[in-house]
Chains A and B, each alone.
Chain A
Amino acid sequence: MMARSEEKILILDGLVSGYGKMEILHGVSLTVRKGEIVGLIGPNGAGKSTVLKAAAGLLKVTSGKVIFLNEEVTHTAPYQRVEKGMAFNPQGRVIFPDMTVQEHLDMGAWTIKDRKEKEKAVAQVYQLFPWLMERKRRKAAQMSGGEQQMLSLARAMMIQPKLLLLDEPSLGLSPKWVKTVFEKIVEIKNSGLPCLIVEQKAAMVLGYSDYAYVLEMGRNKFEGKGQDLLQNPDVRRLYLGG
């Protein structure tokens, strides 16, 4: 097994956060390193999605630090984190129903000011998702759930990010689409982009993860290489259903 890269892309250090007065995270720490898929699993209500939202700046962090590319961004506005290269694919309804494929990519490129750079990004994304090219003018509402998830991924890729945060990309998809989406994520990771993935389908995401964290009740519970956690009897018993 290769050792984890020394280069840290994202560090969450003792995050305390939640919704209003309701505290969900009571001090969560994790690290995403260069070239890794990092999985984040745990039972319902453990605070997995909350971790991503706090990292992306959608939730206020009351204590702890978010460090992205060696720079503290704990209290930076979400759109400024996007400008720094943090792409976030939220959970659930991830699209603008009344907008076309091309318009989604335009929105993904919102922070790119240079026109040439934007055209380059569009070309790259169409190369990564060639089938979107023929559906440029299709409205997102007319696409299947799997296609919408892929479109959302394409939208997130427009900023040519340095880090991709994915919140349950498999949610509501057929097994075939789940496989397609995850194969695309691995392809993206192999091109050099680290990903932090929150998933309900724990065993599956551990299989894809270089490193993974298990969360329980808003605290770190276990961590280790994806394969090691898959073999870990405690993890298997508690989180993978035997």
Chain B
Amino acid sequence: MGKVTLRLENMGNFIETLIRGLMLGSVYALVGMGLTLVWGVVGIVNIAHGEFVMLGAYFAFWSFSLLHLNPLLSVVLAIPVFFFSGTVIHKRVTERLTKAPELSALILTFGMSILIWNLAQFFWTNTYRSVPYLTGNFPFFGLVFAKSKTLSFFLALSITAALFVFLKYSKMGKGIRATSQNPEVALVCGINTMKMRAVTFGMGIALAGAAGAIVSLQWVIFPQMGASYVSKAFAIVVLGGLGNIQGALAGGLIIGVLESLVTQYWSAKMAQIIPSVTLLLILLFRPTGLFKR
């Protein structure tokens, strides 16, 4: 009897770890999908992608501490705010990169990344911040989950679902897919591919910003936090196949689950190397990603 209970407890622990991984991964997936979307459609590798996660987190933090805005509302508000900023940044800064060699995009967005987090450091200091909104846990069939993480999970899933529906069924979503799959034919269909690219860039930034606002519900916020997200996002994009949105979703969940398992059964330190190890292994053995297009 004793043995069976022990096993059940282990099983419960394992399931809890898995679900925690999926919750974590759903937020990573948002960041990864934004990066892969911009990469696939606009053709820009946005090194500064993680900085927009950071800005999204600060967006939620300041609206909470200054305006006493409900962080849930911040997540929803972050989407149009970051979308609009993204399209403006594209028009003013990154649009010129679409016809430039790939290295130019890397250098420009790398510079942008340094500029953004230095400005954040200058204005907001290195103080660690957090949004004490939802604290505590709740039990679920004998398992225990943090309220904030569960909420994050549902927010991330809703945004993902909305993104999929938009890309699959809306006219603009189809135009974006067409631009990504065959820009020349998209152009001769009469699609304003330049506009599609600007919209896509905005969507990528909106996904990063929303992810950041969600992140603020559960982790500390600081100016350099973007770096860890962009490295996870790169692993996710490569895992899922470049430009493959569904792949990025799967990739995000996989990285989340792996991190959660390693944290639980090995150490939190080891979990930090998961993204880079995954990136390395995939590039070595399956450079086109896990999934067939």
Contact = CB atoms under 8 A, between A and B. Distances in A.
Do A and B interact with each other, yes or no? Answer: yes
Interface of A: 56, 58, 77-79, 82-83, 87-90, 93-99, 103, 106-108, 110-111, 152, 155-156, 159
Interface stretch (B49-57, B138-146, B156-164, B170-178): B170-178
B81 interface: no
- List the 8 closest A-B pairs by CB distance, nearest first: A82-B190, A111-B190, A79-B190, A96-B181, A88-B188, A107-B189, A110-B190, A110-B189
Nearest to A158: B189
30 contacts: A56-B188, A58-B187, A58-B188, A78-B187, A79-B187, A79-B190, A79-B191, A82-B188, A82-B189, A82-B190, A87-B188, A89-B188, A93-B182, A94-B182, A94-B185, A95-B182, A95-B185, A96-B182, A97-B181, A97-B182, A97-B293, A98-B177, A98-B181, A103-B174, A106-B171, A107-B189, A107-B191, A110-B171, A110-B189, A155-B189
A90 B190 contact: no
B86 to A, nearest CB: 23
A111 B177 CA distance: 16
A106 B171 CA distance: 8
B190 A99 contact: no
A58 B190 contact: no
Interface of B: 171, 174-175, 177-178, 181-182, 184-192, 293
B174 A107 contact: yes
A147 B262 CA distance: 50
Contacts of B175: 107, 110
A209 B190 CA distance: 27
Contacts of A95: 182, 185
Contacts of A159: 190
Name, among A83, A96, A97, A108, the residue most crowded by chain B CB atoms within 10 Å (CB to CB). A96
A155 B187 CA distance: 13
A90 B185 contact: yes
A93 B192 CA distance: 20
Contacts of A106: 171, 174
A99 B174 contact: yes
A99 B189 contact: no
A94 B178 CA distance: 11
A79 B187 CA distance: 6
Contacts of A111: 189-190
Name, among A58, A87, A107, A110, the residue most crowded by chain B CB atoms within 10 Å (CB to CB). A107
Contacts of B189: 82, 107-108, 110-111, 155
Name, among A78, A95, A99, A106, the residue most crowded by chain B CB atoms within 10 Å (CB to CB). A78
Nearest to B192: A79
A56 B189 CA distance: 11
A96 B190 contact: no
Nearest to B244: A98
A110 B185 CA distance: 12
Contacts of B187: 58, 78-79
Nearest to A109: B189
Contacts of B182: 93-97
Given A96-B178, A99-B178, A58 B191 contact: no
